[in-house]
A and B are shown apart, each in its own frame.
Chain A
C-alpha cells in the first residue's frame, strides 16, 4: 500500500525534513535538530503536523450518551465546549486505543484517535452504534490537524485571531473560529506537557495556518521531538505504554476509569479484575533506557520492562516509563539492563517536567 501524505507534505520536504513511514503516512521525524525542536516547545513554541491522526464526528440526540457508553471516563458531566481524555475499552477491560472526545455541542462530538488505530476504532464504534440515535462520520481524510505547543502559543493564537483575549479557552476547552472565512476547531489540548492548542481544519486552511505560524517565528517540529516531549510529560503512547492486552489499571491511566458513572463497555470486567502491572517512571543518571529494556529489582529479579524511554532533552538524562509486575517489592531503586550492563534507575513521581499547561 502506498504511503499516505498529509496536506503539508510539500512544506516538510521544502524545509528539509527527514521523512519516515508512520502509521501508513510519510511523516516528518525531524527537521534540522530534534534537540532544538524539543527545546523550542519548552521555551518558546513549535508546531507539529499531526494530520495523520483520525477524526470521527458523532451527531444526533444520543451523541453524548453513545460516547459516554464507549469510554470509561465520564463524558456526561463536562459542559459543551470541553474535551475529555479517555481510553476506549473492550468488554474485557483491555485497551483498544486512547482518544480525546470534544463536546462541540450537545448533539455534536468530535473524537480524535491515533493514526495507527483509526480503522480499528472506526469498526469498533460502528459495531456499537446499535440502539443509539446517532450518525457516525469518518473525517480522518478531510481533516487536517496542527498542534501549536509551548509557552508562547496563546500569544500567537491571539495574534492570529484564533483565541479571544477576553474569553480565553480553558485547558481542555474547545471552540470554533473562522480562519480566512473557513471554519476551524481550536482546542487547548496537546501532547507535550506545555500550554498549547490543536487546530482541526480543512487541508487548505492547514496550509495557510502553517505558513502564518512560521511567519510568527514558530518552529516546525517533527515526530521525534513530539515523542521526547510526551515522555518528559509522562503521557502514554498507544502501542508502548498502552497496549492491546492491558487494562487502564496496568498502564498508569486508572484515573480515567469512573466506575460510578452510567454503564460503559468494560465496566464489569474492570470491577472484578486484578491488574498484572503497575506503571512507573524512572530516571537514570547514566544510560539511556529504550522500549523493551528489562527492569530488575535490587535482588536481581526480573520485574518488568521499559515501555517508553529516551534521553530527556530538558533534563539531560535518561528517563523511562515502565510496566512493573504487581506484587513485587516496592522500591525507590531498580536496575535497567542495557546491552548486558545494569544501570541504576530511580523511581520518579509525577511528570518529569513541570507542567506548563494551564489547568
Chain B
C-alpha cells in the first residue's frame, strides 16, 4: 500500500482525508489511498454553504458503485465553499484526488487551534497507510 501518493505539504486524518490549511481556511478532500480503496466513485454528496461543522461530524458522503462512505470533518468550522464540480463529475476524485478539494471551511478565530495537533503529517499518514 506504499504506492499511493502522499504530498508533503498537506495534513491528513485516519479517515483518509487530506487538509490544506491556508490562514483561517481549510480545504478538505480524500486521499489517493481512499479513492483507490473505494474504486470508481460515482456519487458525491456535499453540505450546504453556511453549515457549521463540529470536529468529527459527518459532512457528506462518497459512493462507489457498491459502497457508501461517510466524510468526516477533520476540524470544526463553517462551510464557506463547496466543490459543486464533484457532484457532476465525481470521477475527478479518482483521477486527481489532491487537485479536487470537496469543501472549504473557515476555522474559528483562534490561530493556534489546539485541534490542529490531532492531524497527521505526511510521514505519519504514510505509516498509517502501510499498516
Contact = CB atoms under 8 A, between A and B. Distances in A.
Interface stretch (B10-18, B60-68, B78-86): B60-68
Contacts of A288: 42-43, 63, 68
A311 B65 CA distance: 5
Interface in A25-65: 29-30, 33-35, 38
B40 A33 contact: yes
Contacts of B66: 29, 34, 224, 227-228, 310
B43 A311 contact: yes
Contacts of A35: 39-40, 65
A332 interface: no
A29 B64 CA distance: 13
A224 B45 contact: no
Nearest to B68: A290
A200 B114 CA distance: 62
Contact of A313 (B61, B65, B68): B65
B27 to A, nearest CB: 24
B39 A311 contact: no
A351 to B, nearest CB: 19
B42 A311 contact: yes
Interface residues of A, number: 16
A224 B65 contact: yes
B1 to A, nearest CB: 12
Interface in A220-236: 224, 227-228
Interface string B50-91: 000000000001011110100000000000000000000000
Contacts, number: 33
A339 B65 CA distance: 17
A93 interface: no
Given A30-B39, A33-B40, A34-B40, A310 B61 contact: no
Given A33-B39, A33-B40, A310 B65 contact: yes
Q: Which of B63, B64, B66, B68 lies at the interface centre, i.e. has the most chain A CB atoms within 10 A of its CB?
A: B66
B65 A287 contact: no
A228 B61 contact: no
A288 B43 CA distance: 8
A228 B65 contact: yes
A228 B63 CA distance: 14
Contacts of A30: 39
Interface in B75-110: none
A126 B130 CA distance: 50
Interface string A273-312: 0000000000000011010000000000000000000110
Nearest to B66: A224
Interface in A93-149: none
Q: Which of B40, B42, B64, B65 lies at the interface centre, i.e. has the most chain A CB atoms within 10 A of its CB?
A: B65
Interface in B18-53: 39-40, 42-43, 45
B40 A339 contact: no
Contacts of B43: 287-288, 311
B45 to A, nearest CB: 7
24 contacts: A29-B66, A30-B39, A33-B40, A34-B65, A34-B66, A35-B39, A35-B65, A38-B65, A224-B65, A224-B66, A228-B65, A228-B66, A287-B43, A288-B43, A288-B63, A288-B68, A310-B65, A310-B66, A311-B42, A311-B63, A311-B65, A313-B65, A339-B45, A339-B61
Given A33-B40, A224-B66, A290-B68, 13 more contacts: A33-B39, A34-B64, A34-B65, A35-B39, A35-B40, A224-B65, A227-B66, A228-B66, A287-B43, A288-B43, A288-B68, A310-B66, A311-B42
Interface of A: 29-30, 33-35, 38, 224, 227-228, 287-288, 290, 310-311, 313, 339
Nearest 8 A/B pairs, CB to CB: A35-B40, A311-B42, A311-B65, A224-B66, A288-B43, A288-B63, A34-B65, A34-B39
